[in-house]
Chains A and B, each alone.
Chain A
């Protein structure tokens, strides 16, 4: 009980929780789309994180296993340790998970209705186009660097080929990419 009171009187934890709470419902396409706003709040307004800490947090979470959303936990951790990570994750997850559950149940109960079928039939092509676009945008920063351009393109092509033609575990491909990178091949 005392710990809870202490947590609620810690301005950093309350700030983190409510900041991520307000961003949750805006994060269409993933929490990563609200990064500019997080940067404004955590780095520019509050000064809780440095520029380097901020981008390192995001880079780390993207390289580590698990959903990219965990960069929110790392940001919170770098501000206020484990309580900070917990407050941030609770804030970003609470509103969106409630909405997702409500919407899913409604859509499933009404899945034979024409408007629900039109919705998913109309959205599926966008989802696939978006997936290809995401792959493209993820590779782009590496392709832009002259020294890595051809290595990057070759490795992307090799990965696509391996995924489409073999049953090789995806983890091995990512780790292989890490080894090739460390050896300076790409």
Chain B
């Protein structure tokens, strides 16, 4: 595993709408308990469509817009290569097959949902899913190296976000409005031409 971000020359891109569709279907079908961790693994490490920095920046925009981050991210990636068609194909890839699977499960679920083995297995899977998101966050921290804010300030903002959301349990829109404004104001100053 290389920790160096591939340069623009090393980046690949999807050749067709079909490839785009299946890339997102493959990604979504591997996403048990959330798709964020697997999105990073697939888009940055396996397919190399995005650099680490690009992934985090796109996700940052996906985050402040309404709708699930990863669903927004898929549309932004699809739009980049094939315009509106790409956005909808990526969205369909992300949702279609997983929706069929989850609805079939919903139809069957009633009979097994309270079986202790199922409850325990779901807890084990949920625990690993938590670890995956945590690890992805840690893995992407080096993307802050190139941030115009400078690493110490960027890391402080990241730590403050963790504290406000995870420990104080403040609502996300409030944190984005408060800390986000601080971050943007500092970045605005740092980017002074």
B11 within 8 A of A: no
Complex contact A114–B102 (CB within 8 A) = no
What is the interface residue range for chain B against chain A?
35 or more
Residues of B within 8 A of A89 (CB): 95, 99
Q: Is the interface of A mostly helix, strand, loop or mixed?
A: helix
Residues of A within 8 A of B148 (CB): 117, 121
In this complex, how many residues of chain A approach chain B with their Cβ under 8 Å: the count is 98
Complex contact B121–A182 (CB within 8 A) = yes
In-complex Cβ contact of A138 among B76, B130, B160, B165 (8 A)? B130
- For window 89-142 of chain B, which residues contact chain A by CB distance below 8 Å? 91, 94-95, 97-99, 101-103, 105-107, 109, 113, 117-118, 120-141
In-complex Cβ contact of B139 among A33, A93, A164 (8 A)? A164
Complex contact A103–B65 (CB within 8 A) = yes
Number of A-B contacts (CB under 8 A): 369
- For window 19-45 of chain A, which residues contact chain B by CB distance below 8 Å? 24-33
CA distance A169 to B99 in the complex (A): 22
In-complex Cβ contact of A73 among B57, B99, B154, B176 (8 A)? B99
Known: A78-B106, A100-B75. A178 touches B158 (CB 8 A): no
In-complex Cβ contact of A117 among B120, B121, B179, B187 (8 A)? B187
Residues of A within 8 A of B76 (CB): 100, 104
- For window 125-172 of chain A, which residues contact chain B by CB distance below 8 Å? 125-139, 142, 148, 152, 155-160, 162-164, 167, 169-171
CA distance A133 to B193 in the complex (A): 34
